Structure 1
């Protein structure tokens, strides 16, 4: 990714840029591997907090990245922003190579457990599929606004000269809140169960998206976007925690990679949905469409998590898994 991003700054035409971006996509598996390493390394009773902290970097980077890109482009230029980003990726490479270590024994292809068998080993296979779909919907919901939010802000703003700056601030507000809330909600998921945090996080998102459809000024939109950061802080860490607990370690890499693929599908489908809805109805209608999508997701997810709602904290579940009941533990 360091090479491809840096090379984008030297392209002579758009076709080579497209090819380099496609190659970059083939090697952008860092996040799911980071999730798998953390999930396998951290004591499972602390997985919510650990994955919540890790997810903070992912979510905040996704939300603040466009703002940073805009600042770099305005300060240095479009091509130079690729060079700066390439240097940042080089720093990530060096940091990972020097400081990230794992105990890993390669498995030959003949000994590797097939994905179908991994799903047979999972206690709640429908839960995992529900988490895949939820990851896709969450990402689609976050990305559905990217194609229209600047246009909506331009429509609402009284001072047209500051539209770019205001758009960057409004876009980044959820990331600021997520930065603060994600580790806290991760600890909460360890205490009450990640499925409760997940479902309630989706409900908070719905509560935020519906009034966004009726905003009449930028301040209303900003407040609701900031509250949406609480939802973002709850969702992805809870999904990662549930996968960590219910997926066997032999399948971590592949299951987390599948989850990343569903997230990528949301990244593609979200902006397309937003653009289509905005072109047919209005910019605000995108928020209502996103809320409807989230409602459908909640209705789909609740049956898949129903068996977990009375399982207690992660520590309780671990002890039950070891053969002791939750009642025994409490006693």
Structure 2
């Protein structure tokens, strides 16, 4: 078997286990925080919000630094750093006795983030270019499917054992990821020589089209913010639609999971289409679908229709986020791929953090449906910037 194919298999398993590990503890953070001290539910929600956001803040700040290190010393070294670092920090969370220790550990976890982007960067540098769309989307299904299964696994272990035990199990899963990366992932480590050190000082100096890259990063932020903005208000939105609390948690869980289900089902096919028809064409189709889904969600009054739209959202995500990553790598030099994807990781983390704030604040001031309209507007504006930039680039090419 070719080396890159073996790496795809191993890294798919690694991203899957990392997805399970991250998502199986997130639903219980508020309860875990509340169990540490005798506090009101309102205070526990506030503090758990800080705990949740802490790692994202660190990721936004340090991802470009780790991207530079990855470009210099290789992506396999970063896979080992991420998996071992997450193993240690998440295991220690199981021993935390107060919320401030938990916040500190979440910050340290942010320093260890980045397994999936480094896995993608490693494969991009090894796999045939004509198959990259399919492979990138395939790796995405690993993390997405892990995120889907994680809350179920975490719920079972938390119910049968304890929430603290869930942290230890997560730590074990991430240690398995470390061992897989250590013994089965191989890389042609093209280290940058000392004479090339000057060329690594400024990533932006060597970006052919800075405006294009910034627009792509903006798109990542806006699309991810749109996804994250719905999560904290989805249960309330469903309650408004059905007019009762009967089976509310089950229905909310199903609605939350549907984008991931469709993402898994269609990601590889969409990746093949991107290889055949071009990344930008598929990206614009995904953007259009995302805008349409958000607009339709703002007027839906049927639970079945909402479920259908949530399913379509997963297809839209599979047509946008992986394609943005691939487009970024196609428009920078190979030696800077790590940094390009790390900036995209920062944009993704920024979107996740801002999206939660947008969803809760806008729905508190206006109606919940206003969140969908705002998402559609922001994505449309970002898409217009991309169209203008591509048109400008085309005019320069033919002038």
Same fold (TM over 0.5): yes
Contact 2:91 2:170 in 1 (8 A): yes
The DSSP-based 3-state class of the residue aligned with 1:111 is helix
Which deviates further from its counterpart, 236-245 or 288-297? Answer: 236-245
Aligned ranges 1:20-31 → 2 under 5 Å? 20-31=105-116
Q: Which runs of 5+ in 2 are unaligned?
A: 1-85
Aligned ranges 1:143-162 → 2 under 5 Å? 143-157=228-242, 160-162=245-247
Q: Which runs of 5+ in 1 are unaligned?
A: 311-331
Structure 2 residue corresponding to 1:126, chosen from 211, 230, 239 = 211
- Give how far 1:120 is off: 4.7
Structure 2 residue corresponding to 1:278, chosen from 345, 350, 363 = 363
- Give how far 1:253 is off: 1.1
TM-score (norm 2): 0.72
TM-score (norm 1): 0.86
Aligned ranges 1:295-314 → 2 under 5 Å? 295-306=380-391
Instruction: Classify 1:84/1:305 alpha carbon distance in 2 versus 1 (closer, same or farther; 3 Å).
Output: farther
Q: Does 1:199 align with 2:259?
A: no
- Give how far 1:240 is off: 2.1
Match of residue 316 from structure 1: none
Match of residue 318 from structure 1: none
Q: Summarize deviations over 1:52-111 as a string: whole Å, max 9, x none.
A: 111222344456545554454445432222222222212211222222110103335663
Distance in structure 2 (CA, Å) of the matches to 1:67 and 1:210: 31
Match of residue 141 from structure 1: 226
- Give how far 1:133 is off: 1.0
Q: Summarize deviations over 1:130-188 as a string: whole Å, max 9, x none.
A: 21111111211111111211222233345625222221111010101000111111111
Instruction: Classify 1:208/1:248 alpha carbon distance in 2 versus 1 (closer, same or farther; 3 Å).
Output: same
The DSSP-based 3-state class of the residue aligned with 1:12 is coil
Match of residue 200 from structure 2: 114
Contact 1:63 1:174 in 2 (8 A): no
Contact 1:195 1:305 in 2 (8 A): no
Instruction: Classify 1:19/1:70 alpha carbon distance in 2 versus 1 (closer, same or farther; 3 Å).
Output: same
Contact 1:44 1:245 in 2 (8 A): no
Match of residue 77 from structure 1: 162
Contact 2:325 2:344 in 1 (8 A): no
Give the count of matched residue pairs. 309
Distance in structure 2 (CA, Å) of the matches to 1:309 and 1:189: 20
Structure 2 residue corresponding to 1:165, chosen from 247, 250, 259 = 250
Which deviates further from its counterpart, 189-198 or 93-102? Answer: 93-102
